[in-house]
Structure 1
């Protein structure tokens, strides 16, 4: 991705899981077991940079395995987006955004 660091600080700032209209309730529920497992592995290692994929912070972890429809994008409102000078949207649908 465009150099967005996979770290706890960015994950806490990320609004994908909180505000993204394209990230449906069904996708959020479906992602809970795998996200929790991956985040716990990262927490035990002391960082999350080695995690390949979680359903969230798509600008760092890559496109979603669940989101399929454009229902609105809040990326430009996100602090992670702003702080990393990102210019694309819909990182959840397309690797590197569109």
Structure 2
């Protein structure tokens, strides 16, 4: 995956959960696994999480473009990212 660090700090800045492409059904489906991953002290070794897609890779639930807010995210800006839809396309498009 890209160079965005898998960290609780980046996760706390992440706005993926507010994205219009991230449906309510996807959020509910991902919640138990995401909560378990977030409880770990170090998430750098977590293979996949439904969020922080610029770091963890594409969603296993999101299937269509309904709008992208990546450009509004602090993680996006701090890491000089230039693409969008990291949830649908590896390394964005």
The TM-score normalised by the length of structure 2 is 0.95
- Is contact 2:58-2:87 (8 Å) kept? yes
Q: How much does 1:34 deviate?
A: 1.2
- Consecutive unaligned residues in structure 2, runs of 5 or more: none
**Counterpart secondary structure, 1:35:** helix
- Consecutive unaligned residues in structure 1, runs of 5 or more: none
Greater helix proportion: 1
* Structure 1 stretches of 4+ moved >4 Å: none
Aligned-pair RMSD on alpha carbons? 0.8
Aligned residues: 93
Residue 58 of structure 2 aligns with which residue?
63
In 2, Cα distance between equivalents of 1:87 and 1:2: 12
The TM-score normalised by the length of structure 1 is 0.91
